[in-house]
């Protein structure tokens, strides 16, 4: 009899074959709940509602500070370069990264994965130390968002904004000079000239960053509740193989030129350009293919006062996923 398990995950093309049943994990009757990422993260972190779920990489690492509730698979459904996630008020005098020094910067939460990557990138590659700016936390579009985990790193100022304000509004009015965010603020989406990206041509900056570092930043991983994993440890390997198969099926469809699966007229050329820059497997799963990226993130998390220790990569993932059987 198959194990009935629920996976909460967003509507990704790389997991679509799991969601629609084209890929069936060995021994598992999978219930795929397609939920917005913020809802999934909150419900899993707070209540452990699902057997498995997508999870912010930063939140998962933070959870290891106090408990062993979850174990991860080296599956990364969300990745993104983050130069495009730095927004500025155009009257703030910020035209280059070092202009951020001494300014007040908004972040939805200090611990969100995108902000960890942005702060680390700015310090390592652009001369902007993490502690050189002041941080204001709160909702991007909705007031009342708060830091889910109390965080107060030594030497870093982190202050919540008033509960009736939003970061988008404060950026527009110049009450914060800049914003680090995985989502675009509303004034930017509305093409308000008061808000712009720090890197106007962010793809060029991101390609340069990848060529220099080999890093395609990981945003999310997939976690299992520890009790589910311990009850049948084969689940980890079975799910890992299924995620790999789902991604493989997508990679073949993406390059179908007779009839595009996207409403993007130059998608084939974009894929070819991506491979020229990043290689054939530009969205890898697994530990070894991502070791350097994970090590850099774990260092950032520790250095920024989030992780209480500098974790080894293997401490985060189920051992059953370290390698696949070759026949």
Cβ neighbors of 220 (< 8 A, separation 6 or more) are 37, 54, 55, 56, 57, 76, 77, 78, 113
Tell me the pLDDT tens digit for each residue of 15-28. Answer: 999 999 999 999 99
DSSP sequence for 46-82: HH--SSEEEEEHHHHHHHTTT---EEEES--S-B---
DSSP sequence for 222-281: EEEEHHHHHH-THHHHHHHHHHHHHHHHHHHHHT--SS-SSS-TTHHHHHHHHHHHH-S-
How much is the pTM? 0.95
Tell me, what's the pLDDT at 94? Answer: 97
Tell me, what's the pLDDT at 261? Answer: 84
Q: Where in the chain is the domain with CATH 3.40.190.10?
A: 3-79+218-321, 83-213
Say which CATH class 3-79+218-321 falls into. alpha beta
DSSP state of 16: H
Task: Write the Ramachandran bin of 286: left for phi over 0, alpha for psi from -120 to 50, otherwise beta.
Answer: left
User: What CATH number belongs to 83-213?
Assistant: 3.40.190.10
Q: Could you tell me if 183 and 145 are in contact, meaning their C-beta atoms sit under 8 angstroms apart?
A: no
Tell me, what's the pLDDT at 260? Answer: 84
Tell me, what's the pLDDT at 262? Answer: 83
* Residues in the chain where the model's pLDDT stays below 70: 325-327
Report the distance separating Cα 33 and Cα 43, nearest Å. 12
């Amino acid at each position: 009899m198959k194990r009935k398990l629920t996976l909460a995950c967003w509507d990704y093309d790389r997991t679509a074959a799991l969601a629609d049943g084209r890929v069936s994990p060995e021994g598992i009757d999978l219930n795929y709940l397609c939920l917005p990422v913020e809802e999934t993260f909150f419900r899993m972190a707070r209540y452990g509602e699902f057997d498995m779920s997508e999870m912010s990489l930063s939140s998962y690492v933070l959870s290891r500070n106090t408990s062993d509730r979850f174990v991860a698979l080296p599956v990364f459904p969300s990745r993104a370069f983050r130069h495009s996630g730095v927004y500025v008020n155009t009257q703030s005098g910020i035209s280059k990264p070092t202009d951020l020094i001494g300014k007040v910067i908004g972040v939805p939460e200090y611990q969100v994965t995108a902000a960890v990557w942005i702060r680390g990138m700015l310090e390592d590659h652009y001369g902007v130390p993490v502690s050189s700016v002041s941080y204001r936390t709160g909702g991007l579009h909705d007031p009342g968002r708060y830091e889910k985990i109390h965080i107060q790193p030594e030497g870093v100022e982190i202050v919540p904004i008033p509960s009736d304000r939003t970061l988008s509004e404060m950026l527009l009015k110049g009450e914060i000079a800049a914003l680090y965010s995985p989502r675009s603020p509303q004034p930017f989406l509305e093409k308000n000239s008061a808000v712009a990206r720090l890197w106007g041509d962010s793809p060029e900056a991101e390609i340069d960053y990848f060529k220099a570092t080999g890093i395609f930043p990981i945003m999310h991983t997939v976690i299992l509740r520890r009790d589910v994993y311990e009850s049948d440890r084969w689940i980890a390997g079975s799910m890992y193989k299924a995620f790999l198969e789902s991604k493989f099926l997508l990679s073949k469809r993406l390059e179908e030129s007779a009839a595009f699966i996207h409403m993007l007229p130059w998608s084939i050329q974009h894929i070819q350009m991506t491979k020229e820059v990043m290689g054939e497997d530009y969205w890898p799963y697994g530990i070894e293919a991502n070791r350097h990226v994970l090590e850099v993130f774990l260092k950032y998390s520790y250095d920024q006062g989030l992780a209480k220790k500098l974790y080894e990569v293997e401490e985060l993932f189920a051992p059953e996923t370290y390698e696949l059987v070759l026949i």
